[in-house]
Chain A
């Protein structure tokens, strides 16, 4: 088996404030949002400008990173040996691009959705939205484990008001579940694991190729710590710490989209990837064979969540369980410890993000346009909302992992990863779950366009699409999902930076 060497020796670190500014762009938008709370247009304008700047800043780093640079910025020491530190590498940048780009789409969508829905407290909503994006980029560009943890917690807190946005009883329950799972796991599991790592490696906790903990713990300790991290970062939705995700469905749909596609869950799996590659290092984990338990935890999550999704009628809940399964893919991929598996996980973050955000925005659009949220009610709706359902179709193809969508590429890597690692049972898991995915997505699309019973012929003037602010982002993300199949080079190259063994 080919060991993963990580970043090539030619990598140069370059001190730069770019990651800091990228992270701060949305934070600085908050005063603007608050200042224009009386005029919604100006308020959302501020959000847009900040989003644009953020994306631009992130994209500015692409050429440098591709040419082998690592942008780095250290503030000061938080505790002895460990500072507040940003460092941009391939994985972080890949995630950063996805997050900041999708933030723009979600914002556009949110404007349409929130206005169409006459939601209250929109200023609060957009402020915390911006704050959570700041935290997400902080996680993406975190240079060491402590910085990562800090931004992780910041994200949990800043999304709490979003989840319980409606403020009614259901929202309260959802918010409670959300926060108790996330905070409980991170304080109860991730923090002790973090502190244990620090006591073993007090000289520093920087993510590095081969991992800073490599060789400092025994096999059992490594396995336990790995599980503590994987479950501690409960945003990655490993069963049984997954139920916050369906519970958080009470949030407005843009929030769900943000949670499921952009910020929250992806931060969870991102953290797990970081822990595997940067904290322990795949070599070390392979050497002590510490990841088997994690592999099986992920595999079980994949299968069980797909089965649950099959039985759901509420569209958003179904999508939530689907997300849990897809997160399981990513964790499984990285737990395979093979180069292709790890690369597949990284790519899948991006691919699943675009696909799933499309699906969520479609679900929201359907709800905005018709007030329907159950799958059983959606028969024949493809005829009134053809564009939405076309996008839904593309999104589901990507999630299932079929060409011509980006999901196919990452899934291909993942499957190759299992073969590379020689884990045939896990290959079976991937295949079974793909069939299950198809089984819960395809009927929806099919019934929407070809309902049972008599149907009126399709006519454009009967089309009742959602407001443009909602529709345009859907179409953009759907297009990107398709494009990702044809031009996946950027993602592949960024992933390859981290996994040169490809």
Chain B
């Protein structure tokens, strides 16, 4: 049973989705229980897999039972295989866990925002999780593309199901996403034509074995196309155009699922491509792209931060912050040292949690107040203490203040920057932290104080009616639980950064002493 866990992890949401289509086509009430059940099984399987990986090291799972057939295929993989190493296993827990917690929020919104389409939404929701997990778990470059497309198509639909305004945003997203995925496919094609296999590990070995192969221009172009494709999908500035509108106009539960996960999983894929496919030696010793890419990342960080500063719409602001965070991760990964990559990988986890936390809190506040500009926060601390507590934790993490996880990811990234001597990257990280501080404390100010807002005049926190009903959060319990869990995760991941960083370090494959 244990060795089937990776497949169970993939199949639970998959079967859930198909089962909904098969048996519950006209029964919207079945949607949420199936989502919860399927995701709970997935989380369980992921946790068991993680435990297994921690105990016994990397897991390889051969699908279709095609062994590596040493005598007949020169030891190459003829089938598709899963490969779950320390970092993968962590991400595999993260994806269904966030989806599961988000389902608590989704439960309250599904019937409102997607009336008449509950089953469709639930199917797409589960299949998105399948796609994201599948991208992380697979060890086959083409299979990665297929799962990438599954996650893309489901996300297009999950966004497009939204309001009128979502239509054009989704169309742009489809265009960009298709270009990105196709670039990725083309890059894989360039590798295939020169190497002849699609298995990530085998390609890596071939590249390591032959220096002529590494000299080839087409391999370099392959690396370029794969990276460009992934950057498009993750929304690295200046390829981010699709991102803010898509997340902003999507149904709120889509936003709070996709914002934490989709771009982050793309970063995970990028890291895997860098570490497991091309290899750090090749990327940093033989291609000298670091200055350029770190430069782009710096611009992304600054641009994202300042665009966020210019936003009046809360969700728009958060979306641009994601653009900045993508810059953090890409820059960190391309610093080319262990601390930088550790920082980028760790930031994937921490950014997922804090973005999730912020999106949930913001969704709750927007729903409660009916406003989606910064003025929605007036008196929020008093009206919605739990939501604001979660928001505060997420915000502090975004700013990078201890002991939240945002501080520690920034810590590793900064160390990477200092060690690599990329001072401009260090400076951009710090500037972005400061801009985030301005952003969020501007909100806290609105929340704490009597702010004279344009139309409604002076607003006194104490003048709020003492009506007990009005004073309570008026947020469904599920959402409250979701927010609390997310905020706790932000703190826990921060405090657990040592073991996480050491998993990541073992993944990077350099000897690093493991915490006792």
Are B418 and A164 in touch, CB under 8 angstroms? Answer: no
**At the interface, yes or no: A69 with Cβ under 8 Å from chain B?**
no
**Bound form: Cα–Cα A164–B449 in Å:** 8
Are A76 and B498 in touch, CB under 8 angstroms? Answer: yes
Contacts A80-B498, A183-B434, A188-B434; A157 near B401 (Cβ below 8 A): yes
Q: Mark B421-455, 1 if CB is under 8 A from A, else 0.
A: 00000100011011001100100110011111000
**Bound form: Cα–Cα A196–B418 in Å:** 7
**At the interface, yes or no: B7 with Cβ under 8 Å from chain A?**
no
**Which residue of A121, A150, A172, A196 is within 8 Å of B402 (Cβ)?**
A150
Q: Which of A162-215 contact B (CB under 8 A)?
A: 164, 167-169, 171-172, 175-176, 179-180, 183-184, 187-188, 191-192, 195-196, 198-199
Interfacial chain A residues near B403, Cβ < 8 Å = 78, 150
Q: Which of A338-394 contact B (CB under 8 A)?
A: none
Are B497 and A78 in touch, CB under 8 angstroms? Answer: yes
**Bound form: Cα–Cα A183–B401 in Å:** 10
**Bound form: Cα–Cα A252–B498 in Å:** 42
**At the interface, yes or no: B411 with Cβ under 8 Å from chain A?**
yes
**Bound form: Cα–Cα A171–B438 in Å:** 16
Interfacial chain A residues near B396, Cβ < 8 Å = 157
Are A79 and B438 in touch, CB under 8 angstroms? Answer: no
Are B448 and A167 in touch, CB under 8 angstroms? Answer: yes
**At the interface, yes or no: B515 with Cβ under 8 Å from chain A?**
yes
Interfacial chain A residues near B401, Cβ < 8 Å = 153, 157
Query: How far apart are A40's CB and chain B's nearest CB, in angstroms?
Result: 15
Q: Which of B445-492 contact A (CB under 8 A)?
A: 445, 448-452, 461-462
Q: Which of B386-436 contact A (CB under 8 A)?
A: 396, 399-403, 408, 411-412, 414-415, 418-419, 426, 430-431, 433-434
Q: Which of A54-80 contact B (CB under 8 A)?
A: 76-80
**At the interface, yes or no: B384 with Cβ under 8 Å from chain A?**
no
Are A191 and B414 in touch, CB under 8 angstroms? Answer: yes
**At the interface, yes or no: B501 with Cβ under 8 Å from chain A?**
yes
**Bound form: Cα–Cα A160–B395 in Å:** 15
Are B498 and A79 in touch, CB under 8 angstroms? Answer: yes
Contacts A78-B498, A121-B461, A198-B415; A164 near B445 (Cβ below 8 A): yes
**At the interface, yes or no: A149 with Cβ under 8 Å from chain B?**
yes
Q: Which of B239-279 contact A (CB under 8 A)?
A: none
**At the interface, yes or no: A161 with Cβ under 8 Å from chain B?**
yes
Query: How far apart are B514's CB and chain A's nearest CB, in angstroms?
Result: 10
**Bound form: Cα–Cα A111–B438 in Å:** 33
Are B438 and A180 in touch, CB under 8 angstroms? Answer: yes
Are A195 and B414 in touch, CB under 8 angstroms? Answer: yes
Query: How far apart are B377's CB and chain A's nearest CB, in angstroms?
Result: 13
Interfacial chain B residues near A120, Cβ < 8 Å = 461-462
Interfacial chain A residues near B451, Cβ < 8 Å = 172
Q: Which of B304-356 contact A (CB under 8 A)?
A: none
**Which residue of B412, B419, B430 is within 8 Å of A192 (Cβ)?**
B430
**Bound form: Cα–Cα A246–B400 in Å:** 27
Contacts A199-B415, A199-B419; A153 near B402 (Cβ below 8 A): yes
Contacts A79-B498, A160-B441, A199-B419; A192 near B414 (Cβ below 8 A): yes
Interfacial chain A residues near B445, Cβ < 8 Å = 164, 172, 175-176
Are B441 and A149 in touch, CB under 8 angstroms? Answer: no
Query: How far apart are B253's CB and chain A's nearest CB, in angstroms?
Result: 31
Query: How far apart are A29's CB and chain B's nearest CB, in angstroms?
Result: 18
Q: Which residues of B contact A (CB under 8 A)?
A: 396, 399-403, 408, 411-412, 414-415, 418-419, 426, 430-431, 433-434, 437-438, 441, 444-445, 448-452, 461-462, 495, 497-498, 501-502, 513, 515
